[in-house]
Every structure is written in structure tokens, then in C-alpha cells.
Amino acid sequence: MPGNSFGKMFRITTFGESHGPLIGVVVDGVPAGLPISEDDINFELSFRRPGYAYTSPRREQDRAKIVSGVFNGRTTGAPIAIVVENTDVDSSYYEKMKYTPRPGHADLPYIFRYGFENWDYRGGGRASGRETVARVAAGAIAKKLLMLLDTKVAGCVEAVDGTRIKEGITFEDVLKSRCRRFRACKEEYEVTFQKILEEAIKEGDSVGALVRVVVDGVPRGLGEPVFDKLKADLAKAVMSIPAVIGFELGIGFEAAYKRGSEVSDELIVVNGDIRWRNNFYGGIVGGISTGEQIVFRCVFKPTSSIRKPIKTVDIRTLEEKTIVVEGRHDPCIGIRGVAVVEAMTAITLVDHAIRSGLIPSTRLSQKDVDVVEDRWKRYREICQHGEGYQ
């Protein structure tokens, strides 16, 4: 199957380009009966929205429109299509620069693959971060469905530039980062992160980010041997996000420098239930969820578009050129990226929950619906909108 779909039983297909009329997503495999509104989608979109000096100056309202699959406020079992219009589009800069591909962007690889004459050079086209609007929209449905299992996904920024949060980070810390502008895993780091970003902006530079995701209330037994291990599907989900170049589960790369005796977990009994004492491996053992919190990290590279001159090549003449990327750009895409990572995580988990029969594939009962509504309401109260929202 071509590459614009993700998931097996809960399956999203995205479409739309950065400078096309809209970004859209079809979500197929949603059971009937789920109450879902455009406001639910917009709520999640608010955590991805720009709207502040530190982020991209493109001013999109990002208002979701549900155009199929929902009737009388509930899903019908039909595919749900959601579109978000692109309203603030100016392609003139890209028109001018189309013969000098930006080295850190997908420009040249797209030209290699699809041919220069077919390349949508406007704002990165399909490779733009704007495509992730569709993922966050679909993620809102996934997150709401996960309420049935009381599963909550949250992400935060653990490090930017040289600064890394070293203190123990709890799920509550992570969840509350949704109320913070810079998504720091600990509130006290917000100021530091702000300073780092302000400095980067001033210098026309950008910074990378380490993002941590924690999932609380994970049902046991999710993940399918041997290729669709939960860790494998999460890795794919997250690595498919633009600018993400690393993924690690639990102690991750640290394990390369450890002895087995240092990082061997133990089984213990807590309240009559078997549990892992240390959760070294991020809630997934043998590719299957253990019921402990899922914990992983991913890394966003520094935004490629910086205000410093970059060397490139004119593809007509093969002359080396120096270009300067105009406009202002997110100095740290990892911050808005958190919302996208959360969405992809939720989508992956719902997919596996349906595959395993933990969420029904055809329809929710009224009791299911009541549970979902109640938990969702409380979830939305934690942070009523993303800080990019105005």
C-alpha cells in the first residue's frame, strides 16, 4: 500500500499540501457511537498551533471541519474525514527559490523521487510540518477512544540545546506540560527554555529538542509478535514525524553501557497484582505492554530553516550558491512537535487496542459512551487549550 496511510484496524490516511487549499485526513475503523465534535478536534489542534513569537509566523486558524462519518454528534462506523483549510499561504518566496534546494529539507529528495517538473516546491509541499495537522486531528479521535481504557498519553520537552531535565519526571508532570508554552517536563524549566529560544531567535539560529512521552493506564497485552511489537509500531509512528531522528524506549541507549545486573528488572507483588519494580524497559517487554507506564523519548533535530546563510547548489547549472532562508521560523520545532508525537502514540495504541479486541471494532455500547464522555470531560479540564491558542 502506498505510504500515506498508517495503522491496521484504526487507519488514517492524510492528504493535502502546505500551500494547497487544505490539509485533510480520513480515519477509517472508528467504531460507531463515539461522540466527537469539531470542538474536540480543535481542542487537540490548539496544542500544535503556532500563535506566538517563538513559533512560525504563519497564522493559521486551524479550524477542523468534519465532513463525513459523524451524524448527530456520534460516529456512524463510516470513515471520518476531517479537513483544515490553509488560509495564510504565500508561495512567492518558494517560487523564487525553487532552483536552489534547501539542504536540510526534503526539497532535493523529492526532486530525486518525483522529478523536478512535478515537484510542489511551495512551502515544502507534502513534506511540510503542516501535514502534521492531519495527524493531530486524527489523534484527537484516538485519544478520546482511549478514554474507554482510561489510557492517557502525554508528552513534554525534556531537553533543549544543552539543558536537560534530570529530576524524576512523573506522569502528572508530563500531563501538565500541556498547560505550558514550552512544554517543559518540569515547570521550573520553562524560564530556561524560554531564554534558550529567545537567544536562538536573536541569533537567527535554532535548537533541537528531546521529547519524552509517558502513557498512563496502559492495558496489558498490547502488541503483536513478532514484527508488530508495540515498540516497533511506536518507533515507526514517531519516526514518521518530520524532523524526528531517534527513538528510545525506557532506558534506551543508556543500555549500551550497562551490565545486565544493573538493569535487570524484578517482578514484585503490589496490591495483589504482579508488577515490574523498575520499569526499565518503558512498559514494553517482549514487544508487549506490561501494564506499567509506557515511557519513551524521541529527538527532534534543530529546525533546518535558520537565518544564517546556507550553501546549496543551483540544480540548473550545478553552481554552488549561498542562500538565506527568509521569514521567521520555529526556532525549535520539537515544542509544537510534542502534540504530534502524542497523536501518533495515541493512534498506535488505539490501533493495537482494536486489534486485540480491547476496544470494539464496530460499535460502542451506551455504557462505553458514558465512560468515554466522562473521562474526556475531565481530561479536557486539565488544560483547556494549548498555549499557542489565543
Cell output for 233: 509500531
The CB-of-275 to a second copy minimum distance in angstroms stands at 9
Residue 8 or 181 with smaller CB distance to a second copy: 8
Residue 29 or 155 with smaller CB distance to a second copy: 29
Per CB under 8 A, 248 contacts a second copy: yes
Per CB under 8 A, 38 contacts a second copy: no
Residue 130 or 383 with smaller CB distance to a second copy: 130
Q: Which of 61, 90, 357, 377 binds a second copy (CB under 8 A)?
A: 357
Pairing of strands 244-249, 294-300: antiparallel
Backbone angles phi, psi at 105, to 5 degrees: -100, 175
Binding mask 298-337 for a second copy (x = CB under 8 A): -xxxxxx-x-x-xxxx-x--xxx-------------x---
Per CB under 8 A, 216 contacts a second copy: no
The CB-of-44 to a second copy minimum distance in angstroms stands at 19
The CB-of-291 to a second copy minimum distance in angstroms stands at 7
Per CB under 8 A, 232 contacts a second copy: yes
Which residues, in sequence order, are bridge partners of residue 212? 156, 297
Residue 172 or 286 with smaller CB distance to a second copy: 286
Per CB under 8 A, 93 contacts a second copy: no
Residue 44 or 85 with smaller CB distance to a second copy: 85
The CB-of-51 to a second copy minimum distance in angstroms stands at 22
* CB contact burial 313-350 (16+ within 10 A = b; e otherwise): eeeeeeeeeeeebeebbbbbbbbbbbbbbbbbbbbbbb
The CB-of-141 to a second copy minimum distance in angstroms stands at 13
What single DSSP character describes residue 260?
A: H
How many residues does this entry show for the chain? Answer: 390
State which of positions 146-175 bind a second copy (CB under 8 A): 159-162, 164
Cell output for 147: 478514554
Per CB under 8 A, 182 contacts a second copy: no
Query: Which stretch, 36-44, 139-147, 247-255, 382-390, contacts a second copy (CB under 8 A)?
Result: 247-255
Classify burial at 77, counting beta carbons within 10 Å of its beta carbon; exposed 0-12, middle 13-18, buried 19 or more: middle
Pairing of strands 5-6, 11-16: antiparallel
Per CB under 8 A, 256 contacts a second copy: yes
Residue 83 or 141 with smaller CB distance to a second copy: 83
The CB-of-382 to a second copy minimum distance in angstroms stands at 26
Per CB under 8 A, 236 contacts a second copy: yes
**Single-letter residue type at 238:** V
Residue 210 or 383 with smaller CB distance to a second copy: 210
Decide: 302 and 125 in contact? Cβ < 8 Å.
no
Per CB under 8 A, 51 contacts a second copy: no
The CB-of-230 to a second copy minimum distance in angstroms stands at 9
Backbone angles phi, psi at 203, to 5 degrees: -85, 0
Continuous segment of H or E residues that includes residue 269: strand 267-270
* CB contact burial 81-107 (16+ within 10 A = b; e otherwise): bbbbbbeebeeeebeebbebbbebbbb
Cell output for 41: 478536534
Cell output for 59: 497564522
Query: Which stretch, 38-46, 48-56, 168-176, 215-223, contacts a second copy (CB under 8 A)?
Result: 215-223
Tell me the C-alpha distance between 102 and 100, whole Å.
6
The CB-of-381 to a second copy minimum distance in angstroms stands at 27
Binding mask 106-145 for a second copy (x = CB under 8 A): xxxxx-xxxx-xxxx-x--xxx---x--------------
Sign of the dihedral through C-alpha 129, 135, 140, 144: negative
Residue 322 or 390 with smaller CB distance to a second copy: 322
Residue 5 or 384 with smaller CB distance to a second copy: 5
Cell output for 136: 493531530
**Left (φ > 0), alpha (ψ -120 to 50) or beta: where does 60 sit?**
beta
Backbone angles phi, psi at 341, to 5 degrees: -65, -45
